Amino acid sequence: MSAEPTRVTARTGIALIFASRHLYILFMLLKRRLRPVSLVGVTCGSALLAACGGASSSTPDYSVPAGVGLVVKAVPNIRWDANTYTASAGEIDVFLANDDSVKHVLVVLQDDKVVGDLELVVNDRGDTDRGTITLDAGEYSLYCTIPGHGNMNSVLTVS
Ligand SMILES: [Cu+2]
């Protein structure tokens, strides 16, 4: 009589071990299945972000005035719309437009120093600013003074 409950207990124990192993395997399988799902979630999230960025990358509604000596546009991904610009020596009428969604501040540099007092500011998408600067023939940089915008550093050749 006393051997029977012990056997039952041993069988139950083994059954429990098997059951827990199966549960563990099941858990691991579920975990494996869940991982790609969460990856898809992340991908969708970035796709949505890209979609949002894509929507704002179209040209906003502004017009470039006629007779401007230099037109510069800030474009998405913290860049000017060109790597090189040209202008004629003398008083240059500079027009800055913002096709991006963050603030940009344009200054002209020569040998890493600001030249003249031109500082054009565009706070939001579609903003424009305009000013003049007098430059001799030479090589300059069009630079954005906003911290982290060091990539906005294009060559301006004045001749
Ligand atoms: Cu900038």
Chain segment 71-125, per-residue pLDDT in tens: 999 999 999 999 999 999 999 999 999 999 999 999 999 999 999 999 999 999 9
In a domain, 61, yes or no: no
Ligand 1 midpoint to CA 144 (Å): 5
Whether residue 95 is found in the same domain as residue 153: yes
Whether residue 81 is found in the same domain as residue 13: no
Q: What is the pLDDT of residue 60?
A: 87
In a domain, 65, yes or no: no
Q: Does residue 26 surpass a pLDDT of 50?
A: no
Tokens standing for 45?
């999230």
Whether residue 102 is found in the same domain as residue 39: no
Total domains present in the chain: 2
Ligand 1 midpoint to CA 16 (Å): 65
Ligand 1 midpoint to CA 146 (Å): 5
Whether residue 51 is found in the same domain as residue 74: no
In a domain, 64, yes or no: no
**104 vs 26, 66, 86, 144, 145, CA distance in Å?**
54, 23, 20, 6, 7
Query: What average pLDDT does this structure show over 128-146?
Result: 98
Q: What is the pLDDT of residue 57?
A: 53
Whether residue 112 is found in the same domain as residue 143: yes
Whether residue 49 is found in the same domain as residue 79: no
Whether residue 77 is found in the same domain as residue 51: no
Ligand 1 midpoint to CA 88 (Å): 24
- Residues whose beta carbons lie less than 5 angstroms from ion ligand 1: 104, 144, 146, 149, 152
**6 vs 15, 17, 20, 29, 64, CA distance in Å?**
14, 16, 21, 34, 92
Q: Does residue 139 surpass a pLDDT of 90?
A: yes
Whether residue 77 is found in the same domain as residue 38: no
Distance CA 142, CA 96 (A): 11
Distance CA 16, CA 9 (A): 10
Ligand 1 midpoint to CA 79 (Å): 7
Ligand 1 midpoint to CA 151 (Å): 8
Tell me the percentage of the chain whose pLDDT exceeds 70: 64
Range(s) of the domain holding residue 30: 1-55
In a domain, 109, yes or no: yes
Whether residue 40 is found in the same domain as residue 11: yes
Whether residue 38 is found in the same domain as residue 86: no
Q: What is the pLDDT of residue 4?
A: 52
Q: Residue 106 class from Cβ within 10 Å (0-12 exposed, 13-18 middle, 19+ buried)?
A: buried
Ligand 1 midpoint to CA 134 (Å): 22
Q: What is the pLDDT of residue 150?
A: 97
Q: What is the pLDDT of residue 108?
A: 98
Contact criterion met (CB below 8 Å) for 92 and 86:
no
In a domain, 63, yes or no: no
In a domain, 124, yes or no: yes
Ligand 1 midpoint to CA 148 (Å): 8
**What pLDDT band is residue 7 in, cutting at 50, 70 and 90?**
low
In a domain, 51, yes or no: yes
Ligand 1 midpoint to CA 107 (Å): 10
